[in-house]
Amino acid sequence: MIFEPVIICKDTLLSCIEFKGIEYVHIRKHKSFKDIEGVEGHYPTKKGVSFTPARWASFLSSIQAVDAKIRENEAGHNGQYKQHIGGGIFLTLDNRQINIRRFTISDGETDPIPSSCGICLSVHQWSNLKKGILALHHAKPYLKETTPCYRQEDHYEPALLRQCRECNPYENVQISF
C-alpha cells in the first residue's frame, strides 16, 4: 500500500521513502514551489530527521514517555526528557518543545550536544505527528513490528552492545537507555 505523506504542520511532513531497498521514515520540513505551468508542489529540505526501521522502532518506544512528560508540564511541572534513538539521534523534550535531532561530541568532551541537524515540534505538532504515525502504520504495518537495535539478540552480550555504532555512536562515551 502506498503511503501519502501526512502534513504535521504547514511545512512539515511525515513520509516514508524507499532507498536502496530500505524504507526510511522522514519527519522533514518542505518548501513549496510553483512550476512554470503554475502547478504547485513541494520538495524536502535538509531540516528534519530520517529513521531506519530499527531507529523508528526505538522512536516509537519513546512516545508514551514523551506524552507523560507533556502531561506533567501541563500540570505545572517542568518535566524534561532525553532518549537516545539510534546513531547520534536523540529525542528530547524541554519547555514544551520536542526535538528530534543529531547530537555530536566535541574532542575531549563526554556529553553529546545537539546539532542543527534535526527538527523541533510544538506539542500541537507532536499530536499531529502521532495521528500521522497511525496512518503510516495502517499503510505499512510491518513498521510497527520492527525491533529496535538495542533489543536485537546479539546485543544481550555487553561487549557486543558496546561495539555497536548504532547503540554507541561515540567512541569512548557510553550511552544509557
- Which pLDDT belongs to residue 174? 61
Length of the chain (residues) = 177
Task: List domains and CATH numbers for the chain.
Answer: 6-163 (2.30.31.10)
pLDDT at residue 22 above 70? yes
Percent of the chain with pLDDT over 70: 95
Higher pLDDT, 78 or 103: 103
> How far is the C-alpha of 61 from the C-alpha of 22, rounded, in Å?
21
> How far is the C-alpha of 88 from the C-alpha of 93, rounded, in Å?
16
Higher pLDDT, 162 or 113: 113
Distance of CA 34 to the CA centre of its chain: 29
Give me the helix-helix angle, 63-74 and 123-139, nearest 10°: 150
Lowest mean pLDDT among 21-30, 83-92, 156-165: 156-165
- Which pLDDT belongs to residue 37? 83
Confidence of residue 177 (pLDDT cuts 50, 70, 90): very low
- How many CA atoms lie within 13 Å of 125's alpha carbon, on the beta-carbon side? 20
> How far is the C-alpha of 53 from the C-alpha of 23, rounded, in Å?
7
Burial of 111 (0-12, 13-18, 19+ CB in 10 A): exposed
> How far is the C-alpha of 52 from the C-alpha of 89, rounded, in Å?
11
Percent of the chain with pLDDT over 90: 50
Q: Give the model confidence (pLDDT) of 115-148 as tens digits.
A: 999 999 999 999 999 999 999 999 999 998 888 8
- Please give the backbone phi and psi of residue 107, each rounded to the nearest 5 degrees, phi first: -55, 135
Burial of 81 (0-12, 13-18, 19+ CB in 10 A): middle
